[in-house]
Structure 1
Amino acid sequence: MWALYEPIHAVAYFAPEALAAYEDAGLRGFWRGYFAGRAAPLGPVGPEPVVASFFTFAPAMVARALPDVWSLTAPERALELRRAGATAALTRLLAGHEREVERAAEALVPRAAGLDGSGRVLAAANGALDFPDKPLERLWHATTLLREHRGDGHVAALVAAGLDGCEALVLRSAVDLPRAELQPHRGWTDQEWHAAAQRLTDRALLAPDGAATATGRDLLGTAETATDQAAERPWRPLAPEQVTTLTELLTPLTTACATALRFPNPIGVPRPVGVQKPTG
């Protein structure tokens, strides 16, 4: 399910309409808009709660954006910009899929409404926001709640595995995602990256050449399994045929939204079947 709903949510980061909404309001540069929009449900916070809840971002990178962005736009306004940018992107990407959008929203909203926010800061903060009325906006808000709910559980699983934010990225880069998609987009310096790699090597999670050991792969796999288990609750009431129907509803929407993403990407969402690699 995550691979199906994540690309719908992620247009808020990757689509040009989302960047334009922030820039038109004076939030120049990608990261000001990103931190303002994603952190806005928490209120006008400083960097510390965002470092904790976003987890894999370098504290220095977060501190460059927060709390300064709140002098440029209030969190309430940032929420409006986030929704406007996402809606504009989805309007373009999902043109011709209006009926599927309505049905997908009807199916996902019950899964997202009333999510248990215990121990899940971002899910709870987004869950305190009202659901929009329009189907396209309802769909995006539902996918946002579900992905932050899953993401909070993922952070908990990584912490339980004894990994800090940088170590989680270094280990992941040794398994299946390029370092170039992780380090620069999370703000860690080479010195910090190498120090994290050394800590992982000391724990026998990385080999001296930087490759993930079997122990490292097992640890990461255990964290992924725990993440999936923690994310199961919204889906347990669904019968198998309902899962099939929802998958069929989301697949064309996911495929269309994925054209706004690049693969690989910093969030690790896989390329949907049917989305072609760029040529040239």
Structure 2
Amino acid sequence: MWMHFEPVHAVTYFHPRARAAYEAVGLRGYWRGYFAGRAAPFGPVDAPMVIAAFFSFAPAMVARAVPAVWRLATPQEALRARLTGAVQALAEFTYELPESHLVEAADLLEEAAGRVETAGRVLGAANAALPRGEYPLARLWQAATTLREHRGDGHVAALVTTGLDPIEVVAWRCRLDQSREFHQLARGWTDEEWAAAEQRLVENGWLTAEHTPTEHGRAAFRVVEEATDRAALGPWRALGAERTERLRELLDPIASRCRTIIPPQSPIGLPAQRTPTGQATAPAR
């Protein structure tokens, strides 16, 4: 289900209309829009709150944006901009679908989002508390966002149990199957911080002396992924297997179209799509 609602949420990061909506309220530059839009449900918070909740970003990178973004746009303006941009993006991808399709998808996804357990999940809770959207696409996007941030909060909680700090998590994953060149820049860590993190990973048994993942690291990572899935199960148990499957069918054409704008390398971690023949394909830029 994550692979079906995550792309719906992700239009806010990758669609030109989303960028334009942020710029229209004074949030010029990709990262101003990102930090203001994603943190806006908290209100005008300072950097420490965002560093803690977002987890994987270098504190210095966050501090360059927060709280300065609130001098450019209030949280309320940022929320309106992110919803406007997301709805405009989704409208471009769904104009061929019947209104009844979008209404049913929004109803089911909204019901699932209404069943999230918010205790201990700050981003999920902040998004769940936002007013209900007025139109189907607004409701669809907000529900996808609540579910996405709820799942992310559970993932962060699972990562904390490993004893790794944020940069160690990012550095280890890049040794497993991601690109350091991309993720180091996207999360703002310096070369010195990265080298120190990898040395700690070697000392803690997550990497070998040659900086390849150890079996200990791989096993611990599997435990994290399993715990993330368990923590995210509540809404789908509440919705039930039959209606969850119906929602998956409804989201499938929407998610597939949204994924066409997600770059092959992105921090959100979606695996490559598969063609009808089963061949993996990277999302188009």
What range describes the TM-score normalised by the shorter chain of this pair?
over 0.9
Q: Please tell me whether the aligned partners of residues 115 and 238 of structure 2 are also in contact (alpha carbons under 8 angstroms).
A: no
Deviation at 1:238, TM superposition (A): 3.6
Q: Which amino acid aligns with 1:39?
A: A
Partner of 1:218: 219
Q: TM-score, normalised by structure 1?
A: 0.96
What is the rounded CA distance, in whole Å, between the counterparts of 1:192 and 1:100 in structure 2? 48
What is the rounded CA distance, in whole Å, between the counterparts of 1:64 and 1:164 in structure 2? 21
- Structure 1: state its 5+ residue gaps: none
Per-residue CA distance 1:81-113 (angstroms, 9 max, x = gap)? 010111111111222124322211111111101
What is the rounded CA distance, in whole Å, between the counterparts of 2:60 and 2:238 in structure 1? 42
Per-residue CA distance 1:204-246 (angstroms, 9 max, x = gap)? 1001221111111111111111111111111112433323212
Q: Which amino acid aligns with 2:19?
A: L
Q: Please tell me whether the aligned partners of residues 114 and 127 of structure 1 are also in contact (alpha carbons under 8 angstroms).
A: no
Structure 1 stretches of 4+ moved >3 Å:
274-280
Partner of 2:202: 201
Cα distance change on mapping 1:159 and 1:278 into 2, 3 Å: closer
1:1-280 alignment runs, 5 A limit: 1-97=1-97, 98-274=99-275, 276-277=281-282
Deviation at 1:277, TM superposition (A): 4.0
Q: Please tell me whether the aligned partners of residues 255 and 273 of structure 1 are also in contact (alpha carbons under 8 angstroms).
A: no
Q: TM-score, normalised by structure 2?
A: 0.94
> Identical aligned pairs, as a percentage?
50
Per-residue CA distance 1:94-150 (angstroms, 9 max, x = gap)? 221243222111111111015221000011111111111200000000000000000
| RMSD of aligned Cα (Å) | 1.6
What is the rounded CA distance, in whole Å, between the counterparts of 2:202 and 2:282 in structure 1? 35
What is the rounded CA distance, in whole Å, between the counterparts of 1:201 and 1:58 in structure 2? 21
Q: Which amino acid aligns with 2:101?
A: E
- Structure 2: state its 5+ residue gaps: none
Q: Please tell me whether the aligned partners of residues 131 and 138 of structure 1 are also in contact (alpha carbons under 8 angstroms).
A: yes
Q: Which amino acid aligns with 2:170?
A: L
Deviation at 1:174, TM superposition (A): 1.5
Per-residue CA distance 1:20-52 (angstroms, 9 max, x = gap)? 111122211100000000000011011000000
> How many equivalent pairs are there?
280
Cα distance change on mapping 1:128 and 1:277 into 2, 3 Å: closer
